[in-house]
Structure 1
């Protein structure tokens, strides 16, 4: 392949309008080589990282249980041992055992630096069927839970005749024995489970609000710096106002997420949302650092977004803090190599922010111009963002594949687990967004740049660009919601 052929192919991929080709002074033509260089650099770096990556470390999960799930123990059980693949932190009671006569009190003791949890009952477990429910947090703060069911046989205590007689005397004829209030207990347990499920949904929605704030704020600042040039700079204040509002959204999401997580950790106790002790339990692992970074970042974005880009340096710092909190909140601390996953995650977040935030800001700018009865003048706006978006889409795709390879243990988890199915759903929605973007870049942008057409056609093309940005924004909200669910979930769910 010749150099001329390669350049032509890249120009086609970047959707350069015909008027821009061969004109180095054209803004799109001038930006295209930079976009090609940046995109190529990202791709090369990611490929080198993948080639040099070592084997991934294990995910945090239950490794073995004694007694094992589904097993039958011959004789009394004096202790139960849970061994995890990585260190964990007990949440709440951590281990709850239920037997034939109801709840069994146990003492939980972490061992081996948190890899092992030892649960010791007050009395050895005798004949019957038992369930052990465990609730812990991984090193990245994600709550994990599960159930182990086992049976004990051949350990029934001898009951003497005197003991039987004493039981008979305790329940004289004609007197009904007290009936355990199992119905009330079951209703309470069901209500707490529903509350925990609802709180988990709220926590993920709050996480989505924080993620959306970070993506739109970071992408908006990049949009103001790279796309709005020349006379378009009069729209910078409108963009920074939008950045400020998404800072508010992220700032609301952080405490809401903490309160909801506290209810989840407390296994459905609604009062835990305002209980200082329960809130402290919810900050286990890296969760405290993550929420502190996100809260400080959102506040900095809110206070730092001014009317000029130079005066909004604090908002730039805020987006960096938000991004750090989001990266540390993902699977970066639960899978390895950590350096590879974090590097890829940062790349993925930066590219996604440039794409998502840019699409939102295209709609903001065009809506503001229409409201102010100004010419849409969408040609330069669309062509400049077209270059930025093309590079971002490529990097998002490559980095997303790299993250998936590092997170999944095997390809079959894509269709065998709910995490994998949600990931596939996210990929499908991203493909729809990319298709809309491709139509914008290959059809609408050239229409805006085509010479010899009147104001009516330019206005129609500008309306198409604005409508397409609105559609892309709607689908991107869905993508962010799916991403928030994936971040908060275990890959084994």
Structure 2
């Protein structure tokens, strides 16, 4: 029961912080103009405020789960203040937790700027959300090494987290734009086409970062070996994750090279004749987002396994 609770909290925290980071980042590299920020569809202020608040709540839950695990007490009710104090002030994962809590609080304050200075607000939220997301590197396998190897491993883990957050945030942004396609079809189609085109270059960087850091993490965790990859729980989950990642790459390529130009073509030929393109894009995004959710579940699970013992 405790293991599944740990996995569930990790999954929720990963998802929440990735959205908090990825959504404003998408707005920044696609729609930098403050006037467009103000009048168009990327109005997810309340969603970001909710994500920051939920992130604080989930961080508190994760600390309670960690404290129970490290102290060995049978129930959460047996936890005492000195246990939390020892973890937060005396361990790297505790210090990272403290940095995450501060970053999330500052992100919430930064969101107050969105009504008057949207560009500055999005920039600050993205920076603080990046810090909060990066702090999760100390709660995974990236913190298992020491010295220079440990720094390299942590850097690879953090880059992997940020790249995944950028991808998940883009998927969420496209879903929000699609949601209002019936109310304002023409402008939404323009925004979607612009977003798909803008994500193309960023998506290439994201994919390259995920691939390179994924290989580096595997090498640093289990070394240059394939032994036990099929027979161990860790290896099996990792193979499933890789398969889903490959499927997401295929879907992203379809979105970029077929559906984006299709939207523009529909608009150029006859305004309003966009239904088939929207349906195709919505189906593709549903499959891609579903794969991303499953991958996050697997990541949350993998982080609780000892890969050395499994392999």
**TM range, normalised to the smaller chain?**
0.7 to 0.9
Note if 1:482 corresponds to 2:288: no
Counterpart CA distance in 1 for 2:97 and 2:261 is 44
Counterpart CA distance in 1 for 2:99 and 2:82 is 21
Counterpart CA distance in 2 for 1:281 and 1:269 is 18
CA contact (8 A) 2:25 2:122 kept: no
Alignment of 1:240-279 (within 5 A): 240-267=45-72, 269-272=74-77, 274-279=79-84
Deviations 1:175-201 (A, max 9, x none): xxxxxxxxxxxxxxxxxxxxxxx2222
Higher strand share: 1
Note if 1:293 corresponds to 2:293: no
Q: How has the CA–CA distance of structure 1 residues 379 and 421 changed in structure 2, closer, same or farther, with 3 Å as cutoff?
A: same
TM-score, L = length of structure 2: 0.83
Q: How has the CA–CA distance of structure 1 residues 435 and 340 changed in structure 2, closer, same or farther, with 3 Å as cutoff?
A: same
* Residue 406 of structure 1, CA deviation: 1.4
Instruction: Please name the residue that 2:260 is paired with.
Output: 445
**Counterpart pick for 1:424 among 214, 228, 239:** 239
Instruction: Please name the residue that 2:2 is paired with.
Output: 199
Instruction: Please name the residue that 2:13 is paired with.
Output: 210
Q: Residue 455 of structure 1 aligns to a residue in which SS? A: coil
Aligned positions, number: 296
Deviations 1:258-304 (A, max 9, x none): 22233333546114464334545665632211221222223233332
User: Can you give the 5+ residue segments of structure 1 that lack an aligned partner in the other structure?
Assistant: 1-197
TM-score, L = length of structure 1: 0.54
Instruction: Please name the residue that 2:161 is paired with.
Output: 349
Q: How has the CA–CA distance of structure 1 residues 298 and 281 changed in structure 2, closer, same or farther, with 3 Å as cutoff?
A: same
* Residue 325 of structure 1, CA deviation: 1.0
Instruction: Please name the residue that 1:338 is paired with.
Output: 150
Greater Rg over alpha carbons, structure: 1
* Residue 223 of structure 1, CA deviation: 0.6
Counterpart CA distance in 2 for 1:342 and 1:282 is 20
* Residue 215 of structure 1, CA deviation: 1.6
CA contact (8 A) 1:429 1:475 kept: yes
Deviations 1:13-61 (A, max 9, x none): xxxxxxxxxxxxxxxxxxxxxxxxxxxxxxxxxxxxxxxxxxxxxxxxx
Instruction: Please name the residue that 2:126 is paired with.
Output: 316
CA contact (8 A) 1:376 1:459 kept: no
- Higher RCO (C-alpha under 8 Å, 6+ residues apart): 2
* Residue 400 of structure 1, CA deviation: 0.8
Q: How has the CA–CA distance of structure 1 residues 371 and 236 changed in structure 2, closer, same or farther, with 3 Å as cutoff?
A: closer
Counterpart CA distance in 1 for 2:51 and 2:64 is 21
CA contact (8 A) 1:273 1:279 kept: no
Q: How has the CA–CA distance of structure 1 residues 324 and 416 changed in structure 2, closer, same or farther, with 3 Å as cutoff?
A: same
Deviations 1:227-262 (A, max 9, x none): 125575334751443332222332221111122233
* Residue 214 of structure 1, CA deviation: 2.2
Higher helix share: 2
Counterpart CA distance in 1 for 2:188 and 2:41 is 15
Worse-superposed segment, 238-247 or 263-272: 263-272
Counterpart CA distance in 2 for 1:442 and 1:219 is 22
* Residue 317 of structure 1, CA deviation: 3.6
Say what the alpha-carbon RMSD is for the aligned residues.
2.7
User: Can you give the 5+ residue segments of structure 2 that lack an aligned partner in the other structure?
Assistant: none
Counterpart CA distance in 1 for 2:141 and 2:43 is 35
Instruction: Please name the residue that 1:464 is paired with.
Output: 280
CA contact (8 A) 2:163 2:206 kept: yes
Deviations 1:134-159 (A, max 9, x none): xxxxxxxxxxxxxxxxxxxxxxxxxx
Counterpart CA distance in 1 for 2:272 and 2:199 is 23
